[in-house]
Amino acid sequence: MDNLSKKILKRFLLLSLFLFLILGSISYFWIKQLYVEQIRTDLIHDLDIIELELQKDRDFQKIADDIKRLTSIRVTIIDKDGKVLADSDADATKMQNHKSRPEIFEATYKPYGTSIRESYTVSKELLYVAKKIRLDDKEYFLRVATNFHVVYDHFIAFMAKITILFLLFTGGFAYIIYKISDEIRIETDRVVAFLEDLKSQRRSLSISSTYSEEFNRITKLLSETSEALAKKAKKKSKYTAKLKLANRQKDEILSAISHEFKNPISVISGYAQTLLEDMQMAPKLRKKFIDKIYTSAKKLSAMIDRLRLFIKLEEDSHPLKYTKSSINKIVNDVITQIQESYPNREIYFNTKEDLIIEVDEALFSIAVKNLIENALKYSEDEIYIRLSKDKLEVEDRGIGIEKREIDKITSKFYRVSNNGWDNSLGIGLSLVAHIVRVHNFKLEIESQKGEGSLFKIVF
């Protein structure tokens, strides 16, 4: 019969292995799909940018070669009959008619066509995205592609990091569980030793347990103690009170331990296991469980996307696409998007004039969105946004930040724990700081505890 610490550790490891296999399998296919979809989204963004260039310049081959040199993606321009007019990776005059290619066919009746297949021209497996465009009242197909093996290698490397983090977390938690359970075992032995001293001080009772070695010993000693205490009737009240106290303390300890064992079980695994075990669950309750799992999964997905972008920015590997953009329009677009999630909150955007500067519009929108969502999250009053010729300000009247924490909150993985701040995996404001830095802007923070915060992006 195993002792309590070994029993707890074995069950924890078995449960961790089970969760790792189940969640690992689900996460593998799910995250892979998200990763491929993200690459597709990036290629669509590239398509839109290339289309803008084609509106300015009709030298198709030159544009295809320039894009290839700058981004390493393959660019192909095809007329409406399927004839290849330009290609960054091959001689367009020697290429076959492309009208029957899956991505071209799909792009004829959808906004974008997508396929993953072996290229007949370059003999590589590529991820293709195509779009039908109109130039000078003529229809063309614009297609971009990237090496799918490179995408897959990046995905495998990312999954390896996730797996290592999971294993490290499991190992560390297993060690903590073992230490806690070992301490419980020591305390249980102390209780047993104490009860041995009280063998002749309780009334006669009979109890048994086969749950673990420790509880088996406790119950045997309790039975022996109660038999001996029957001979000490005159002292029954005194020693009964003591044993009740000891039992109550034991129950409190076990109750606290049980609570601590349940807390580390995640929301996803808990609801998923319930669904697996109860196939006859009421539809309404099942939907509620699935909604909770889906909500947790969305949060996890957002964190993964945020972490991926943060890593790219930190490694200076994220491609930057600077364009002259309207800061007024970017802010208004972000506000419209955010108000879908916060329909009852007021966001005031005060600006007397528009400001046109060169930014990576996608990245700058992320920075603005992070600042506005932070302001909404940590305040209940209105949010004020102001744009001037040299800065963009986001102000809230929320909980504020202590002065000693202001310089730290933009550090990666730093989280303020004593005032309610939850810095989105510890990278939320650090991500904003990175985006501001790559634009050669400056992030300034002013805050007063209990009065609110003012975040400035200085151009």
Residue 264: per-residue pLDDT: 33
List, as one string, the DSSP characters of 78-104: EETTS-EEEESSS-GGGSPP-TTSHHH
What is the maximal distance between C-alpha atoms in the chain? Answer: 110
pLDDT tens-digit readout, 255-285:
433 433 343 345 677 767 777 877 788 888 8
Burial class of 418 by CB neighbour count within 10 A (0 to 12, 13 to 18, 19+): exposed
Residue 423: per-residue pLDDT: 43
Tokens found for residue 139: 């229809």
Residue 74: per-residue pLDDT: 92
The Cα–Cα gap between 190 and 67 comes to 74
The Cα–Cα gap between 158 and 31 comes to 10
Domain spans of the chain, in order of start: 4-29+153-262, 33-149, 267-314, 322-458
> What CATH code is assigned to 33-149?
3.30.450.20
- Phi then psi for 53, rounded to 5 degrees? -65, -40
**Which run of H or of E encompasses 349?**
strand 347-351
Residue 87: per-residue pLDDT: 93
- Put residue 435 in one of left, alpha, beta given phi > 0 → left and psi -120 to 50 → alpha: alpha
Tokens found for residue 421: 């701040």
Name the residue among 66, 79, 62 with its Cα closest to residue 136: 79
The Cα–Cα gap between 345 and 383 comes to 8
Tokens 């086969």 correspond to what residue?
Answer: 210
Residue type, 115: S
Mapped to the 3 state alphabet, what secondary structure does 11-49 carry? HHHHHHHHHHHHHHHHHHHHHHHHHHHHHHHHHHHHHHH
Strand 347-351 relative to strand 383-387, pairing: parallel
Residue 77: per-residue pLDDT: 94
Q: Name the stretches of the chain with pLDDT < 70.
A: 1-7, 9, 20, 23-24, 27-28, 31, 150-155, 183, 187, 190-212, 214-215, 222-223, 225-227, 229-243, 245-267, 271, 295-307, 309-310, 313-318, 408, 410-428
CATH fold, domain 322-458, is Heat Shock Protein 90 (3.30.565)
Q: Which letter does DSSP use for residue 353 in this model?
A: S
Residue 373: per-residue pLDDT: 86
